[in-house]
């Protein structure tokens, strides 16, 4: 059964966006990512204009992350205080990131810088999480120390520096004590990068919470979803208000799948260990990295594409 989309100006088989929503919602519930890095390119492949794909996806993430946050909150896996501090940072970072894009565009070849930043961040984050979780799984199995090259000493040096900052706050849900500045600064850092790359940044926020804020993986997922929810509300409004690119019909089809997917993901996530979740997310991020590298190096079949806005 086909449905016509009033903003994307195209017709789509409704099974496809519902199925797509289900898969990406599952990832949200499992890993605490918005899944824009998967959803947006897939929607473009289905013939949705790029600007509509990105804006509509953020509308859909509002639903998926509400569903996911709710599910995680019920089992006590959302650290609202931490989420709120990350949000403050993310908001400020987003403002800087938008200015950063303007500067990049004025300097020319902005697309090159953006794409390279994206590939490098995906590659580094994916590889680091992959290696780290494999090593800690080995460690847990053998019960002895596995040399972690230089990373533990560097980590502890950072940890010592973080301890010396003012505004030390205890985050009960996460069971960690940090200066409130830490989530604000790192939330800001992710906000800058996410705005420049034009993505939600869940794949950056999750490792920041795991490795820098040292939060337990299950609380990371719930808190990340809470944080994503607010970011996507803001983005959806701005896209609808300034660019008129949110396709409500498409968003409804996607959220039919993604809200249910997020619930299923949460249930699955509870059955998996933190290390298993990390390694799965690392593999997905690495697969996406490889796919983008392929796209960058293979000659495209069409050299022209729809420009943004209308």
Partner 1 sequence: MKKFKIQDSRFKIAGFLSLCCTAALLLFCSSSSAELTINTNHDHISIDFSYHGSEVAVSGVSAAGADLIIKIASPEGRQSLRKKGKAAGFLWMNVGELKFENTPALYFMRSTKKLEGLLDEEEMGRYLLGYSALERHAEIAPVSNPEEKARWFDEFVRFKESSRLYSISHGDISVAEKDGKQNYHISLSWPYQAVPGDYTVTVYAVKDKRVIETAMTQVRVEQVGGIKFLADMAKNKGALYGIISIIVALAAGFGVGMIFRKGGAH
Pick from 64, 78, 184, 279 the residue near partner 1 by CB under 8 A: 64
Token reading at 122: 């995906």
Q: How many residues bind partner 1 (CB under 8 A)?
A: 60
Does residue 121 contact residue 193 with C-beta atoms inside 8 Å? yes
Going by C-alpha positions, the residue among 189, 192, 229 that lies closest to residue 207 is 189
306 contributes a contact to partner 1 by CB under 8 A: yes
Place of tokens 């933190």: 274
Beta bridge partners of 178: 169
67 contributes a contact to partner 1 by CB under 8 A: yes
Of 193-201, 206-214, 246-254, 273-281, the window that binds partner 1 (rule: CB under 8 A) is 246-254
- CB nearer to partner 1: give 31 or 171: 31
Does residue 200 contact residue 231 with C-beta atoms inside 8 Å? yes
Smallest gap from Cβ 52 to partner 1, in A, equals: 10
Give Cβ neighbours of residue 303 (< 8 Å, ≥ 6 apart).
none
Q: At what angle do helices 217-238 and 15-31 cross, to 10 degrees?
A: 130
Place of tokens 């719930």: 222
- CB nearer to partner 1: give 193 or 256: 256
Pick from 51, 224, 239, 289 the residue near partner 1 by CB under 8 A: 239
Pick from 3, 15, 146, 159 the residue near partner 1 by CB under 8 A: 3
Of 96-104, 169-177, 185-193, 230-238, the window that binds partner 1 (rule: CB under 8 A) is 230-238
Does residue 197 contact residue 208 with C-beta atoms inside 8 Å? no
Of 157-165, 216-224, 235-243, 278-286, the window that binds partner 1 (rule: CB under 8 A) is 235-243
Alpha-carbon distances, residue 96 vs 101, 188, 190, 202, 212 (angstroms): 9, 9, 11, 18, 22
Which spans of this chain sit near partner 1 (rule: CB under 8 A)? 2-4, 6-7, 9-11, 47, 59-60, 62-71, 74, 109, 111-112, 115, 233, 236-242, 244, 246-249, 251-252, 255-256, 259-260, 262-263, 267, 295-300, 302-307
């Amino acid at each position: 059964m086909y449905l016509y989309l009033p903003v994307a100006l195209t017709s789509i088989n409704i099974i496809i966006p519902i199925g797509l929503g289900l898969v990406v919602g599952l990832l949200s519930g499992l890993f605490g990512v918005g899944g824009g890095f998967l959803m947006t390119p897939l929607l473009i492949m289905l013939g949705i204009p790029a600007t509509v794909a990105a804006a509509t996806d953020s509308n859909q993430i509002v639903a998926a992350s509400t569903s996911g946050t709710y599910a995680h909150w019920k089992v006590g896996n959302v650290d609202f205080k931490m989420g709120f501090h990350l949000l403050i940072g993310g908001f400020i970072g987003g403002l800087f990131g938008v200015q950063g894009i303007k500067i990049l565009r004025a300097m020319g070849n902005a697309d090159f810088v953006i794409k390279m930043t994206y590939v490098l961040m995906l590659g580094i984050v994916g590889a680091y999480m992959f290696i780290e979780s494999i090593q800690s799984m080995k460690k847990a199995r053998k019960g002895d120390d596995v040399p972690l090259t230089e990373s533990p000493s560097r980590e502890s040096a950072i940890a010592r520096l973080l301890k010396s900052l003012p505004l030390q706050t205890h985050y009960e849900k996460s069971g960690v004590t940090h200066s409130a500045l830490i989530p604000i600064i790192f939330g800001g850092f992710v906000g800058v990068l996410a705005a420049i790359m034009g993505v939600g940044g869940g794949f950056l926020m999750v490792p920041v919470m795991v490795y820098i804020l040292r939060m337990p993986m299950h609380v990371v997922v719930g808190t990340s979803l809470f944080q994503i929810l607010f970011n996507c509300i803001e983005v959806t409004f701005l896209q609808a208000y300034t660019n008129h690119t949110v396709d409500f019909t498409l968003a409804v089809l996607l959220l039919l799948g993604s809200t249910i997917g997020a619930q299923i993901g949460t249930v699955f996530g509870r059955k998996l260990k933190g290390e298993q979740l990390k390694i799965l997310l690392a593999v997905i991020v690495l697969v996406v990295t490889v796919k983008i590298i392929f796209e960058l190096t293979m000659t495209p079949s069409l050299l022209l594409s729809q420009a943004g806005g209308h």
